Amino acid sequence: METVETNSVSLKRPRSEDDVANADEIKRQKISEKSNTGNGSGQSVETVTEQPDKSLLEDTKNEIIPNEESEEQEDEELEDSDEDGDPESFADMMKHGLTESDVGITKFVSSHKGFSGILKERYSDFVVHEIGKDGRVSHLDDFSVPVDDEDPSEETFTVLSDEDKQRLEELQLLKNKETSVAIEVIEDTKEKRTVIHQAVKSLFPGLETKTEDRGGKKYIIAYHAAGKKALANPRKHSWPKSRGSYCHFVLYKENKDTMDAINVLSKFLRVKPNIFSYMGTKDKRAITVQEIAVLRITAQRLAHLNKCLMNFKLGNFSYKNHPLKLGELQGNHFTVVLRNITGTDDQIEQAMHSLREIGFINYYGMQRFGTTAVPTYQIGRAILQNNWNEVMDLILKPRPGAEKGYLVKCREEWAKTKDPAAALKKLPVKRCVEGQLLRGLLKYGMKNIISAFGIIPRNNRLMYIHSYQSYVWNNMVSKRIDEYGLRAVPGDLTLKGATAVHIEEGDVDNYTIHDVVMPLPGFDVIYPKHK
């Protein structure tokens, strides 16, 4: 199999903190009438995109790998489907969605005809590996658990029955009026009692235990250590001082976005999602590998999830003293397959040549802006304008296009009644953004939308702001290219180290479009001097 390594060019943008937010892009994509990013039928394009400061023409390494695909059809991938309907179709998903011109993507670097094809026809057609700040590409290749004398024995995870776990969870989450749970010790030995004590305390943070003798039988009594405040917070004294407070691990996931994955992990671990941190959200319709950090959860507990989770794998565990922060990554490495290619061999070769030799304008892609008729940038703009009624309306109102059946019913109920409790009853999944906002409205009332919105995790809230910044960036880049073309001009910005500086009249011949960067709008930002 031939591999062609290519260099392409780019207009740089500032490092995104959330470059693939809300990523459920399923689209028969016009790669271009005048585009340069396509590939031939049965080929995959492997691309390393790096996003320190966003340059206008992407300067990347791409490997074009002809894919000698068998004629046999692969098994159909199981997709998340509507609870009372068929799996979402690509056409339905994008019928009411955005076009490239809606989000400022209007210019191309070359004038060849181009071709079209289907991107992400299967989620396995899009493979993402995160690139850390140190340039290391994340791979899941080690399932071993760091040896730690402080860790409980493996028996900790099996000593409690399913019924015991159910009762303990209800006690931990204060779901009933019981103030304690009694677990009979069948084989009464000190060792057995110790294991049960450890199991309750490690699997159900916030609960304490004691041993009682009742009618000649030994019972382990579990109870709340400090009421609601202890809920889901690992006990401080149970964590060894010599061990880093954060367990870092590599998460492999299929067909789930990062925030959904975090919600699933937190549910199984019985903790709050906000104790997890990560450097960037990854696409839903993809296979992705990225680093995650979690506060005071042992590698042993995390590794145990590999036995009970579908489409997830966790590994490469280590303990460190710091969480992860959004944007602290160098970029992502993508392997992409395009299917159902339309175009002649000459058109495909022209596009591949252009991609290798010239590159592409490094716009923020469609996944940044959502896949429904309500773009995320509209919500971001309303937040910046302090128009909280519009924020609430945009997130909750009915919208055309394919969505899960329960979301459609929730939106219809909201439009009809404006009653958070009634709309919430239509949602079996309460941890989605809509469910979180409705819970906030129920808690704080319709006149305190800001506090209600604050219940949505910070990373999700930031996604809307980043989307609007990206929308402005795309539009300004298109206007810049329309005005000055693909050359450096006086007043443009370029990078010297990590600092943006203006290109002066006398130095303009020393720069090309490859050197030009554009800033995201924000606080304390240097802007170009030209119009």
**Contact (Cβ atoms closer than 8 angstroms) between residue 397 and residue 382:** no
**Contact (Cβ atoms closer than 8 angstroms) between residue 383 and residue 394:** no
Percent of the chain topping pLDDT 70: 77
Same fold: 129-143+240-332 with 154-224? no
pLDDT at position 65, please?
Answer: 34
What do you get for the CA distance between the two ends of the chain, in Å?
49
**Contact (Cβ atoms closer than 8 angstroms) between residue 261 and residue 253:** yes
Which whole-number Å values give the CA distances from 499 to 74, 325, 506, in the listed order?
Answer: 49, 21, 20
Encode pLDDT of 221-231 as tens digits.
888 765 544 44
- Tokens 């395009």 appear where? 338
Name the band, by pLDDT with cuts 50, 70 and 90, for residue 80. very low
Name the band, by pLDDT with cuts 50, 70 and 90, for residue 488. very high
Encode pLDDT of 435-460 as tens digits.
999 999 999 999 999 999 999 988 88
Encode pLDDT of 228-286 as tens digits.
444 444 444 468 888 899 999 999 999 998 989 999 999 888 888 999 999 998 988 99
Higher model confidence: residue 32 or residue 168?
168
pLDDT at position 365 over 60: yes
pLDDT at position 42, please?
Answer: 34
Higher model confidence: residue 32 or residue 315?
315
| Known catalytic residue at 283 | yes
Higher model confidence: residue 501 or residue 112?
501
Ordered by start, the domain boundaries in the chain are 85-104+363-485, 129-143+240-332, 154-224, 487-530
Encode pLDDT of 169-185 as tens digits.
778 777 766 778 888 88
- Would you tell me how many other CB atoms lie within 10 Å of the CB of residue 367? 24
Encode pLDDT of 378-424 as tens digits.
999 999 999 999 999 999 999 887 678 889 999 999 999 999 999 99
- Predicted model pTM: 0.62
pLDDT at position 492, please?
Answer: 97
pLDDT at position 95, please?
Answer: 53
- Tokens 């492999």 appear where? 252
Mean pLDDT is lowest, of 12-16, 112-116, 302-306, for 12-16
pLDDT at position 192, please?
Answer: 80
Domain 154-224 class in CATH: alpha beta
Kindly name the residue from 283, 346, 482, 524 that is annotated as catalytic: 283
The domain over range 129-143+240-332 is classified in CATH as 3.30.70.3160: yes
pLDDT at position 527, please?
Answer: 96
DSSP class of 100? G
In 3D, which of 320, 330, 319 has the Cα closest to residue 290?
330
In 3D, which of 124, 112, 187 has the Cα closest to residue 344?
112
Which whole-number Å values give the CA distances from 364 to 290, 395, 523, 526, in the listed order?
Answer: 20, 22, 20, 20
Name the band, by pLDDT with cuts 50, 70 and 90, for residue 197. confident
pLDDT at position 168 over 60: yes
**What does pLDDT average to over the chain?**
80
Distance CA 325, CA 321 (A): 13
